[in-house]
Structure 1
Amino acid sequence: MTIGLEGDTSASLRARPIDVSAERSRTIGAAGRHYFNAAGSGLMTDAVIEAMVLHLRLEQRMGGYEAATLRAPELAAGYEAAAALLGARPDEIAFFDSATSGLRAVFDALRLGDGDTVLAPRSSYVSQALRMLALSRYDGVRLRIIETDGTGAMDLDALESELASAPGRTVISAVHIPTSSGLVEPVAEIGALGRRYGALTVLDATQSVGHLEIDVTLLDCDALVTTGRKYVRGPRGTGFVYLRAGMLDGIGGWAPDVRGSVWTGAEEWTMDDTARRLETWEFSVAARLGLGVALGEAIERGAAQTEAHLVSSGTRLRDGLADIAGVSVTDPRASPSGLVTFTVDGVAGKGVSAQLREARIDSISVPAGHAQWDLGARGLASVVRVSPHVYNDDDDTAALLRHVAGIAREASR
């Protein structure tokens, strides 16, 4: 499903390569520095910024509610664009200010408690992991961390064993690509196992939406949470959730709000039967409009082409880094993605990133505190993470590899 691509066929879209020069020309942040932090916050295009600024000017002139009313068609189109990107329906989409807020809303609505089980991978991000730990500590939820197999991905046999013996309701808190490596978890197989044993699968896709081609029906997940600021290239303060139609039937909402509910009597209310029952009334309309533009651009680029381009970029970076003495690529074997992690002997990750930034090369250091079940378990205090996007060219790659080699040489003296 695509929007804004009249006349294009799926075959022609897949055959069309990413035009890096065109992407750079509409991305002012790509000029003058080498930006490798799409997994933190991707560079927005000029059109995304323009949509936000224009709306803020409109709010300035006529007021926030009145301006939002004028932009109602564009806001509605955002649901269609998010659904198209995920292979979902617009009524299965809810918007939030972050993926973390969306994840919290989904788990709150599930009302897990004593006797229920959550199964989580070692690749869980800190916010996701802390939510699960809090459910275990304060609500009596049984938490099980699933071990990895020889590739570094979730061990599917271990997952099935836990699913077969889990008491009560069971939720798989899955991850597509973690923050701490380029690992791509076997999420379709995870979802299929969950379906077989009657478990719900809630997928953290913050590092994969806009990065990999995604179809929620093929992934067999019940809910998916993601952010707008990373590979989608939208603004900070945006995120969205896919919620399979019917997933919350019979459960209701944990925190009903005027956005998705109607107060019908002194002690009665009704809730929207779409994913919007999870939303709250107040949000940044400007940010939401910017996200809508970014979603449309991601669809126009083509998910399949973007995935092929980014996976190829990741492979080139891993190969180049592996050839540098004193540098170790820390991605597990199951890492066909554009997100790359590494260490430099004798230099902490934060120090490497700081030195790269002095050369106008943007990366990020991921500490073990952001991924204790992964980095902590592997004995890695931190890793350097680089994450290219469609605006990175060969000069960017060459600059990164050259400066990392220089850092490694200096550290070895």
Structure 2
Amino acid sequence: METKILSDELDMIRSQTKGSTKLIHFNNAGASLPPDVVVDTVVDYLREEALAGGYETEAKHIAGINGVYDKLAELVNADREEIAVFENASAAWATVFKGLSFEAGDEIITSEMEYVTGLIGLASAKEAGIKINVISNDALGNFSLEKLEKAITAKTKLIAVTHVSSSGGSILPAEQIGEIAEKHGILYLLDACQSAGQLPLDVKRIKCDMLSATGRKYLRAPRGTGFLFVKKASQDKVKPVLLDFFGAGNVSLSGYTLRQDARRFELYEKNRALTLGLGKAVEYALNIGVNRIWDRIKYLAVLLRQQLAENPAIAVHDAGYWLSGIVTFSVKGMESEDVKRKLAERGINVSVGGSQATPIYMEKNGLRAVVRTSVHYYNTEEEIAALCQTLSLLINQNSNLEV
């Protein structure tokens, strides 16, 4: 039976995260503070590479580099042959989306919470004659499975949705969507950019064909890392967008053969130090336990929403039954960018969710920008109290200026 992350363990985790002693970091949905061991893994490899040579260092560490695929597979309950490492989630998502074959008149279903990268791809598909159906949330802010069922037609070829909203705090019912996709024989692409490392992911339960994710957010990995899952049975349905000798063999002017795993979607050249850093971050999360991480994030997010809501000048915007560790709000009489800047001056990191990140959701709800706070398991109750106290101080100062 898994236990909660208690104070002694939390103190140890924070002692292994130098950044947590310097500031209060509530921008984990942008980029988390990495554990020291992740930083050391990257730096040590780069130093060795500088002294021994790039190819030579890679050969020495090849078992560890290849082991990253096993760790990522364990994280999402996949087989290692279904994992590819990318520099970011956008490249992973675009690789599979652009590798799918559509014809004019085909239909793709998405949600109002879709991230901007996905919308760019969908807009390109729409220009090519593909119909895009957007499933709007219900009055309570929930993704409607009933609307999804009704939207499916014989021409529906893909369901492409974002698991955890970047600017809204809500979680889509990924497993139920997967059941519907499987029932109708429709390909299913899940953007797990904000959910990987935050909450448990099981591709077999979700039943997705493809899943893209980043390392820098809740996995606490270095920037410039990400990964892609493509189900073995679906790999031949996705044509690699770019190919080099790593993904193709038996090359001649007559043609070539593809690798028989998801690494056909990779290119050979990537940062081996960052790849090892990604693997170390995943290992760190697995050692703690993703279920335990998720339990603490939920607890901290509820606490933060409750304390924010106590201030009448703060409006919390998250809606729906299933909410993540991303908490969005606005402050009466203050621009979100100003709130972010004033908090940063006091050693508290937050972010701003602009209309460009999730434009359909933001426009529907009349939001131009929101303050985005995102808690992680290494955050504390005291940090939440400090944030809310600082916000109260800023609000009072702003009110005095207006008088």
Matching residue of 1:6: none
1:186 is matched with which residue: 173, 179, 189? 173
1:412 is matched with which residue: 379, 393, 399? 399
SS in 2 for 1:148: coil
Query: Partners of 2:174 and 2:375 in 1: how far apart?
Result: 23
Matching residue of 2:147: 158
Matched, 1:78 2:65: no
Gaps of 5+ in 1: 1-10
Aligned counterparts, 1:81-120, within 5 A: 81-120=71-110
Matched, 1:206 2:193: yes
Matched, 1:274 2:264: no
Label 1:250 to 1:327 Cα distance change in 2 as closer, same or farther (>3 A): closer
Matching residue of 1:174: 161
SS in 1 for 2:213: strand
Query: Partners of 1:264 and 1:119 in 2: how far apart?
Result: 37
2:183 is matched with which residue: 158, 182, 196? 196
Gaps of 5+ in 2: none
Deviations 1:327-359 (A, max 9, x none): 010001234321100000111111111111011
Query: Partners of 2:397 and 2:368 in 1: how far apart?
Result: 21
The answer to whether the 8 Å contact 2:100/2:237 transfers is no
Amino acid at match of 1:377: K
Matched, 1:142 2:131: yes
Matching residue of 1:127: 117
Matched, 1:339 2:329: no
Aligned counterparts, 1:4-403, within 5 A: 11=1, 14-17=2-5, 19-137=9-127, 139-163=128-152, 165-167=153-155, 170-249=157-236, 252-403=239-390
Label 1:31 to 1:285 Cα distance change in 2 as closer, same or farther (>3 A): same
Amino acid at match of 1:302: G
Deviations 1:90-121 (A, max 9, x none): 11100100000000111122132323221110
Matching residue of 1:8: none
Amino acid at match of 2:262: A
Deviates more, 1:304-313 or 1:368-377: 368-377
Q: TM-score, normalised by structure 1?
A: 0.94
The answer to whether the 8 Å contact 2:192/2:211 transfers is yes
Give the C-alpha shift of residue 195 in structure 1. 1.0
Query: Partners of 1:83 and 1:372 in 2: how far apart?
Result: 32
* C-alpha RMSD of matched pairs (Å): 1.3
Matching residue of 1:5: none
Label 1:250 to 1:238 Cα distance change in 2 as closer, same or farther (>3 A): closer
Query: Partners of 1:16 and 1:409 in 2: how far apart?
Result: 37
Give the C-alpha shift of residue 22 in structure 1. 1.1
Give the C-alpha shift of residue 396 in structure 1. 1.1
Amino acid at match of 1:149: D
The answer to whether the 8 Å contact 2:73/2:80 transfers is yes
SS in 2 for 1:356: helix
SS in 2 for 1:262: strand
Query: Partners of 1:220 and 1:109 in 2: how far apart?
Result: 20
Amino acid at match of 2:96: V
SS in 1 for 2:236: coil
Give the C-alpha shift of residue 73 in structure 1. 0.5
Query: Partners of 2:356 and 2:285 in 1: how far apart?
Result: 32
Number of residue-to-residue matches in the alignment: 398
Give the C-alpha shift of residue 406 in structure 1. 1.7
Query: Partners of 2:98 and 2:250 in 1: how far apart?
Result: 20
Label 1:325 to 1:66 Cα distance change in 2 as closer, same or farther (>3 A): same
Query: Partners of 1:111 and 1:236 in 2: how far apart?
Result: 31
The answer to whether the 8 Å contact 1:325/1:408 transfers is no
